Structure 1
C-alpha cells in the first residue's frame, strides 16, 4: 500500500510545481489519508489480537527482555512507553525496566497531567528528575517529589504556583541540585509568594542552585533575589541567578563574611545582571579565592558611565583557580558594548589566567587582534573559545597564533564559536581548521566567510556541529561539504541566501556521510528553498529528528506531507511558511508524523483552524506541542508569553 501511495504522492508533487492545488488533487490526498488511517486501524486490531495469541514475542524469555530493557539508556523513556501496547510480555518487561529507573528526563516535550500521572505510577523511587512543566499542575509535581529526590530541574513553570516552587526544599530535604525556571509575566502581587528562606533552611546538602525568571523586570524581583542571597545554605557550590541586581550582589558580597561562610565552597557563579562594573568584579573575585567558573551577563539595553574597564579585568588575576570565564554584553538594537575595556585589559588577563580552559567574550568593541591573540597564546589548555560581536577581530588573530610556531592551543581546541565577527573571512577559517580536535565550529553571522574554506572544514574528522548561518556559502560550497567524512550531526544554513534546491541536492546526494549522520538541520530564511529540497532531505537524512524551515515562502503543503510520511521527525518549524494552506491541519492527524513532539506553525494559514482544531490534535497527540507564537524550535525562550 505504501509503495502505491508514495508513487501517487510523487505524481501529485510534480503536478503542484509552480501552481496551486486543484480540488481534485486535494481529494486524492484526503483519500490517501483515509486509507492510511484505515490501514493503521487494521494493524492495531491485528496487534491487539496478537497480544492474546501465541506470537513470537510471547515466546521470548521474559528474563532476557528484562536484561535488555534495564540496560537501555534512561533517556529512551518515551520509546519504552510506546512498547507497552505491543504484547503482554513486552508490557511486563517494560514495567520492570521503568521501575528500576532512578533518573528521568522529560524535558524534550510537554506532558499533560494525565499522561504524566500514568508514567509516574510505573516508576520507582526517583533520585534525579528533569521536567518540562508547561502543562503540569501543582498536584502533579507534589505527587512525584519527596525525600528520595536529590536532583530536581523544573523548567517552564508557568502553570505552577510560586507557593509550590518556594516550598520545594521542605518537600525534598535531601536535594543536592535544584533548578527552577519560571515566568516573570505574571500578576506582580503573586511575587510575594516567592519566599525561599524556610525552604533553603531544610536543604542541608544543597550544592547547586539555579533560579531563572523569564521575561520579568529585574526591579520586580530585586527584594526576592536579595532574600535568596541571604538564605543560601553554606553547602552551596554553584549559584546561578537570572536576573540578578548588581546592587544586591554587591551588598551580599560586601556585608556578609563571605570568605568564612562560602569562600571554600562557592566555586561557580553565574549571574545575569543589570550592569557589570569594576567594583562588582573586584568584590566577587576577592571574596571567592577558589573560584573556578565565572559567568556574568550584562542585559541592560543602555550604556552606563560606571562600566567594566581594564581595571575590572585586572582583578581576575586574583582567581588562581579560574578555568572557565564568560563576560557577555547581550546585544540589543543599539548595540551596546564594553567601551572602556581595551587590549591592555586582555594583556593582563592573559598573564594572570593561563589555566583557562573555556572563554566566552561578547561586546568588547575596543579590543583588537593583539588582545585576543595574547589570550590564545597564553592559555595552552583552552578547549572552548567563543567570541561575539567583536568588530575589530580579524583573521590576523589566528594567523599570529600559528606563527612562527603553532602553540599547544591548536592541539586542544574542541569548540570555536565566532558570532557576528564581520571581519573574519575564509582565510581565518583555514587557520582554525588546523585544530584537528575541533568538534564544534560556529560561524554565525560571519558574512565574509565563503565556499573557499569548506574544503579544509570538510577534513575535520571529529566535527559534529557546523553553523554556517548568515555566511556567504553557496551551492558549490555544499558540493564540497558533501565529500566530508566528519560525523556532522548538526548543520545550520540559516540565512544563506545563495543556497538553493541545487545546493541541498549537492550536499546530500550520492549517499555521502553527512546524510547518514545528520540529525538536526536548519535551512530557514532561504527564499530559494522549495518542496524539491524538502523531498531530498526526507529521502537522504536517515537520522533526521529536527528540521527548521521557517520563513521559506516557497514551501507548500507537499513538504509537510513528505515529512509526515517520513516518520522519525521529532521537531519541525514551519513558522511564516506562507505557502502552507489551511488543509495542512489534516496532515497533523495520525498516522502521519509518527513521534512528532513539537511543531511551529505561527504566521501560516494553518492557525485559521482555531483553538478547537488544536485541542483536537492535542487530545489525539498528548505529547505534542503546537506553537503558534513564533518561538524557535522547542520554545526554550518565549514560552513565558504563551497562553494555555
Structure 2
C-alpha cells in the first residue's frame, strides 16, 4: 500500500537512525511485513533482525525462502525458536548457526534423523536443543538416530538440555531397535517422548554402570556420572523398577516428570505402587514432581499411605502434579497441602475422590500458591473456589470439568487481583456469574468458558462493559459449545476487548457471516492496530459458503491459524478455501477439529 501511494519514497527520506528506532519497536511478523515496501525498509529491517539475540518464530510457519531472508545476517542470534511445518531438511543449514546457544524446532515433520549430525557439525556452542520429529522408517530409524545423536554429542561439548519428541504411529513394543544413548556429562535436563519403560531403565543403568546384563549394546559405553537435574519421560508404563533406577542413580534430580498411558491392563507386579512413592521420598532435592496416567487407566495400587510417606520425605517440594490416582482421598491431598510449605503449583487431574474438604484450611499456603489446576474433579463445588480466593497471589486457576462450580464460586474468584488465567469449562455458571467477573479486578489474559451452557449474550454484555478490567487485558478467549452465543457477543468482543488475539467459537450455532466480517476488520483502538491471530470456527454451521470471501484481502491480515472443519467453508468450498489460503504462506489451517494450533495431537497437516 505504501509503495502504491509513494509511501516508499517518503520512508527513504527519513533519517536512518530514526527509522531503526521505529522498527526496533515492532515484532518479527510486522518487520517481515514491512521489509518488501521499499529498499530503505528492507535494509533497515535486515539490520534490526541482525541485532536480535533472541528470535521466536513459533507464531507462524515461515517457508525456506522467508527464513533465509530473516536469518541471513543474524550473527548475534543466541536463541532461536522455529515452527518447522513448512521446512524440510534442505533448510537445516539456514538455521544451524555456530553462535546459537538455544535451538527449539517445533513440528519438524519433514526432517530426517541425520538432522542431529548436522546440528553437531554447525552449532558448536549449543547448550539447549528441543526438537519435535516424525518417527521414520521403523527398521532403521532408531539405529540412525542413535548414531546421529552420538555425533551430535561430540560436536556440542556444552550441551546442557536435550528434549526430543517423536511422533510415531507404531507400537513401541514392536520396534526391533532400541534407543541407546551415551549421554554427555554436561547434560542437566533430558526429555524423551515416547520411550518404553525398559528403554528408560536401560538408559540410566547403561550410562551409570557402563553395562546392562543380557543387553547387546551397539555403542561403546563407559560408566559415567550423570549430573541430570531434570528428567521428563513419556512412557508406555511407569513401574517401581524404573523409579528404583532413577532414585538409586540420579542423585541430583530436582525435577522429575513421568507420564504413561498403558495399552493393556497391568500386572500387579509390573506397575507403580506405594513402594515407588516411598523410593521417591528419599530424593530430598526434588522441587517439582509430576506423575500422570491418562484415562481410562489409573494408578490402582497407590493409596493415601503412599502419599503420606511421600510428604514426610519431600518437604521442599514446590510443584506437584498427580493424574489418575483413583484411590487417593482427601486425607492424602490434605497431607500435601499442609506439608509442603513452599508449594507454588498444585495440580490434580481426574481426582476421583478429591472433595471440598481438602481445601477447608489453606492458611499454610495462602501466600505461596501461584497456580492451581483441578481438572475433572467432579466432587468439587463452589466451596473450593471460595477457599482458593484466600490465595491472594494466585495467577492461574484451572477448574475445567468441575461441573458443580457455580456463580457463588465465580463471585469469590473475581476478587483475585493477580489472576491472569482462568478456566471454568463445563462449570454451572450463569449470566449473573459473568456479571460478577466483569465487576472484579482480575487482570485476566486467558479465559475459557467452553461448555458453560447457561451463559449467553446477556452475560457477555455484562462481562465486557466499559470500565471492566478484563476488557483491557483479555487476549485469549474460548467460547466453544455455547448455544447462547450469537453475533451480538462477537460484535461486543470486537468493540470492547483491546488485546484480543485468539478466539474460539467452535460449535456456536448462532454465529453467522456477520461475526466473521467483524473479526476480519477489527477497528483500531486509540490508533493501535488490532488483529485476530488464531480463530477456531469449527462446527459453526450457520456460516455460509459466501463467507469464504471474508478470508481474502483485506480481511484477517494477522491471521496465523484457522480451524474451519464441519462448516460450509470445508464441506462446499474446501478446494477453493485451500487455494485462497495457499496465498497466505505464513498461515496454518486445520479441518480436523484440532484444538488451537493443533496442540492436542501430532497431525501431519
TM over 0.5: yes
Q: Which residue number in structure 2 is paired with residue 61 of structure 1?
A: 15
Take 2:585 and 2:392, find their aligned partners in 1: how far apart are those partners?
45
Match of 1:377 among 326, 330, 338: 338
| Cα 1:215/1:531, change in 2 over 3 Å | farther
Measured against aligned partners, the alpha-carbon deviations of 1:514-543 in whole angstroms (never above 9, x if no partner) come to: 111100000001122211211111111111
Q: Which residue number in structure 2 is paired with residue 492 of structure 1?
A: 448
SS in 1 for 2:597: coil
Measured against aligned partners, the alpha-carbon deviations of 1:309-335 in whole angstroms (never above 9, x if no partner) come to: 11110111221110000001122xxx2
Q: How far did residue 61 of structure 1 move?
A: 3.4
Take 1:166 and 1:443, find their aligned partners in 2: how far apart are those partners?
44
Match of 1:302 among 248, 264, 272: 264
Q: Which residue number in structure 2 is paired with residue 210 of structure 1?
A: 163
Q: Which residue number in structure 1 is paired with residue 397 of structure 2?
A: 441
Q: Which residue number in structure 2 is paired with residue 286 of structure 1?
A: 248
Take 2:130 and 2:373, find their aligned partners in 1: how far apart are those partners?
27
Q: How far did residue 258 of structure 1 move?
A: 5.6
| Cα 1:166/1:609, change in 2 over 3 Å | farther
Decide whether the 8 Å contact of 1:262 with 1:288 is kept in 2: no
Match of 1:547 among 499, 503, 522: 503
| Cα 1:224/1:640, change in 2 over 3 Å | farther
Match of 2:88 among 137, 147, 154: 137
| Cα 1:110/1:258, change in 2 over 3 Å | farther
Q: Which residue number in structure 1 is paired with residue 294 of structure 2?
A: 330
Decide whether the 8 Å contact of 2:111 with 2:134 is kept in 1: no
Take 1:165 and 1:584, find their aligned partners in 2: how far apart are those partners?
45
| 1:314 and 2:272 are equivalent in the alignment | no
Q: Which residue number in structure 2 is paired with residue 45 of structure 1?
A: 4
| Larger deviation, residues 497-506 vs 301-310 | 301-310
SS in 1 for 2:596: coil
Decide whether the 8 Å contact of 2:254 with 2:287 is kept in 1: yes
| Larger deviation, residues 311-320 vs 418-427 | 311-320
Take 1:124 and 1:481, find their aligned partners in 2: how far apart are those partners?
48
| 1:273 and 2:235 are equivalent in the alignment | yes
Q: Which residue number in structure 1 is paired with residue 376 of structure 2?
A: 420
Take 1:576 and 1:262, find their aligned partners in 2: how far apart are those partners?
55
Take 1:189 and 1:263, find their aligned partners in 2: how far apart are those partners?
32
Q: Which residue number in structure 2 is paired with residue 20 of structure 1?
A: none
Q: TM-score, normalised by structure 2?
A: 0.91
| 1:155 and 2:106 are equivalent in the alignment | yes
Take 1:301 and 1:499, find their aligned partners in 2: how far apart are those partners?
39
Q: Which residue number in structure 2 is paired with residue 101 of structure 1?
A: 52
Q: How far did residue 103 of structure 1 move?
A: 2.1
Q: How far did residue 369 of structure 1 move?
A: 0.7
Q: TM-score, normalised by structure 1?
A: 0.86
SS in 2 for 1:410: coil
SS in 1 for 2:422: strand
Take 1:315 and 1:59, find their aligned partners in 2: how far apart are those partners?
70
| 1:391 and 2:352 are equivalent in the alignment | yes
Written as runs of structure 1 = structure 2, the 5 A alignment for 1:622-641 is: 622-641=585-604
Q: Which has the higher helix share?
A: 1
SS in 1 for 2:297: coil
Where structure 1 has 5 or more consecutive residues not aligned to the other structure, the ranges are 1-40
SS in 1 for 2:490: helix
Take 2:176 and 2:185, find their aligned partners in 1: how far apart are those partners?
21
Q: How far did residue 225 of structure 1 move?
A: 5.2
Decide whether the 8 Å contact of 2:185 with 2:225 is kept in 1: no
| Cα 1:639/1:336, change in 2 over 3 Å | closer
Q: Over aligned residue pairs, what C-alpha RMSD do you find?
A: 2.2
Decide whether the 8 Å contact of 2:79 with 2:101 is kept in 1: yes
Take 2:133 and 2:600, find their aligned partners in 1: how far apart are those partners?
11
Take 1:382 and 1:425, find their aligned partners in 2: how far apart are those partners?
23
| Cα 1:108/1:201, change in 2 over 3 Å | same
Where structure 2 has 5 or more consecutive residues not aligned to the other structure, the ranges are 211-221, 523-529
Take 2:16 and 2:603, find their aligned partners in 1: how far apart are those partners?
45
Decide whether the 8 Å contact of 1:183 with 1:214 is kept in 2: yes
| 1:197 and 2:150 are equivalent in the alignment | yes
Take 1:366 and 1:220, find their aligned partners in 2: how far apart are those partners?
29
| 1:246 and 2:197 are equivalent in the alignment | yes
Q: Which residue number in structure 2 is paired with residue 575 of structure 1?
A: 538
Q: Which residue number in structure 2 is paired with residue 181 of structure 1?
A: 132
Take 2:438 and 2:513, find their aligned partners in 1: how far apart are those partners?
28
Take 2:553 and 2:336, find their aligned partners in 1: how far apart are those partners?
55
Written as runs of structure 1 = structure 2, the 5 A alignment for 1:446-465 is: 446-465=402-421
| Larger deviation, residues 127-136 vs 515-524 | 127-136
Q: Which residue number in structure 1 is paired with residue 32 of structure 2?
A: 81
Measured against aligned partners, the alpha-carbon deviations of 1:398-421 in whole angstroms (never above 9, x if no partner) come to: 10x34xxx21x2211000000000
| 1:523 and 2:479 are equivalent in the alignment | yes
Q: Which residue number in structure 2 is paired with residue 23 of structure 1?
A: none
| Cα 1:220/1:193, change in 2 over 3 Å | farther
Decide whether the 8 Å contact of 2:372 with 2:397 is kept in 1: yes
Measured against aligned partners, the alpha-carbon deviations of 1:286-320 in whole angstroms (never above 9, x if no partner) come to: 11111100000012243312221111101112211
Take 2:174 and 2:250, find their aligned partners in 1: how far apart are those partners?
25
| Cα 1:120/1:529, change in 2 over 3 Å | same
Take 1:484 and 1:105, find their aligned partners in 2: how far apart are those partners?
34
